[in-house]
Structure 1
Amino acid sequence: MIPNVLSIAGSDPSGGAGIQADLKAISANGAFAMAALTALTAQNTQGVRGIHLVPPAFVQSQIDTVFDDIHVHAVKVGMIANAEIANAVATALQDRDVPVVLDPVMIAKGGAALLQPDAISVLRERLLPLATILTPNLPEAAHLLGADPAASRDAMQMQGHALCEMGPKAVLMKGGHLSGAASPDCLVTADDVTWFEGTRTATRNTHGTGCTLSSALAAHIAQIGDIQRAVAAAKTYVNTAIARADDLTVGSGHGPTHHFATLLPRSQET
């Protein structure tokens, strides 16, 4: 059976992040992709020029309409923009028996704010307790905790545990912001800690990596169920997408990862 995965997020017309990246990543990882939009953005590889929010009631209506007709096997939540939309998403999901991957999208690659300050408390109080797994990068984790970003593995692990105490069943602390050649991720649950080692790829084309990882993770959770195995599979996929990112020629800024790297032939350019 091919599982159905719903992404709740904002759009990126340049195709590298947001809903567009989510649909690609979910599909590339063996699930049927669906989408409920929270916001429209005007952005490209150089940055965000504008954001148009979807009315909260319509965000909830999109989610409810999908669930009323379709068996949803997993949900990914990305950009929620403000408190009203965050509350609408929480209300729509609160009584659903479905795994939720929560990616706390706060700042775009170019630095634009994608989450208004009034949404942080709703994110903490209503959405974190619904999360099967939370997938913050280090600045996002620090923002949720009101702390400084982790600068070491020990600090990543400590902050992962602190976030688990706020409700998620698991937290994947993404270590891409650490200094050095290594890029380790730390999966924290109430009972266990698992490290996933990684090295950096020399490319500027990493736009949408957080969206891509969380969506791939939702697809694998829907198929595998086991969080640790799903994280391993999603990370393998994203590592390949980043390693092949330079096969694409998309824009003059931070380009996207190659979502279909394993399905399309390698570029013949040298």
Structure 2
Amino acid sequence: MINSTPQAVTIAGSDSGGGAGIQADLKTFQARNVFGMNIVVALTAQNTKGVQDAYYVPTEFIDAQFDSLADDFKIGACKTGMLASEAHVKCVVENLKRVDFGPYILDPVMIAKGGHKLLEDGAIDSIKSELVPLATVITPNIPEAEVLTGLTIQSGEDMVEAANYLKALGAENVIIKGGHRDDSYAEDFVSLKDEEFWMRGTRIDTNRTHGTGDTFAACIASELAKGNDLKTSIITAKSFIQSAIEEGIEVGHGHGPVNHWAEVKNSIEIIEK
């Protein structure tokens, strides 16, 4: 049957080092048995030590990529990562309104592991006002959530407040990732349309975390593209990234990448509210 294989697309930046961005997303799609496609918004000269340079793809070519995929494939889910500038955010917004790529996961990528900015300051308001309301689920880490909400996030209560803030902006479902908190667990707060819960994994002492956020969001997209419900998809993604970090790959001289082919273990705890 034509187009019977689950399909997902990443709309993001390319990482020449292969650990994050579009490359991490495509590896995740493949690992989760989903056919992956990409729409390139930006190119980066990047390795495990950081981002050395970036080139923004002309918005007209982004339009052409959307048209090409929409004309041929039956895409079951999509995700965004690095969107670079306000003009690029607006371009993606208009295209997501125009095509049907299924459930949309918004990973509001702002800063690379090495500290390089991947989103211009002028784009933040457009993400809040135009992109967030389109998202099926938004997956900020704590620094990203602080930028989007203006809140200081240090505690679990702060994470709940941030999720409520993003819901007030129009986000239907929110995941505040807690990996940046200084405690013995990596806890994420999940606020869905009809329920809330926490996902807890053991904190792993490693510098092989490059591509963590991209991989987590791409896994959610993969599971949704296969027809799984949102809660199941999110829990699967937490287990997937926990295992991928545990078995991180030893390459490069900086923040090494997670392992997309790690054996997925049920090593997380779900705490219902």
Range class of TM-score, shorter chain = over 0.9
Gaps of 5+ in 2: 265-273
Whether the aligned pair in 2 keeps the contact of 1:161 and 1:189 (CA below 8 Å) is no
Q: CA deviation at 1:178?
A: 0.9
What is the aligned partner in structure 1 of residue 267 from structure 2? none
Task: Could you list the structure 1 runs, at least 4 aligned residues long, displaced by more than 3 angstroms after superposition.
Answer: none
CA distance in 2: counterparts of 1:121 and 1:161, whole angstroms? 18
Q: Deviation of residue 57 (structure 1)? A: 1.5
State yes or no: 1:250 paired with 2:255.
no
Counterpart in 1 of 2:204?
201
1:111 aligned onto 2:115:
yes
Give the alignment's TM-score, normalised by structure 2: 0.92
Cα deviation for residue 193 of structure 1 reads: 1.1
Alpha-carbon distance, 1:5 to partner: 0.1
Amino acid at match of 1:250: V
Q: Deviation of residue 141 (structure 1)?
A: 0.7
Q: Within 2, Cα distance between the matches of 1:225 and 1:162?
A: 27
User: 2:83, 2:119 within 8 Å by CA — same for their partners in 1?
Assistant: yes
The number of residues matched between the two structures is: 260
The one-letter code of the counterpart of 1:14 is: G
Gaps of 5+ in 1: 264-270
Aligned residues: CA RMSD: 1.2
Match of 2:90 in 1: 87
Write the deviation string for residues 185-239 of structure 1: whole angstroms up to 9, x where unpaired. 0111343211111111121100110001000110011124411110011111111
Kept in 2, the 8 Å contact 1:164–1:189? The answer is: no
User: Are 1:165 and 2:162 matched, yes or no?
Assistant: no
Q: Contact 2:208–2:250 at 8 Å: present in 1 too?
A: no
Residue deviations 1:234-255 (CA, integer Å, cap 9, x gap): 111111111111xx33101100
Which whole-Å deviations, capped at 9, do the CAs of 1:43-80 have from their partners, x for residues lacking one?
11001100000001211221121012111100011110
Question: Contact 1:17/1:256 (CA < 8 Å) preserved in 2?
Answer: yes
Within the alignment, does 1:102 sit opposite 2:106 as a pair? yes
**2:189 counterpart residue number:** 186
Identity %: 42
Amino acid at match of 1:259: H
Kept after mapping to 2: 8 A contact 1:173/1:186 = yes
Please give the secondary structure, in 1, of the residue aligned with 2:78: strand
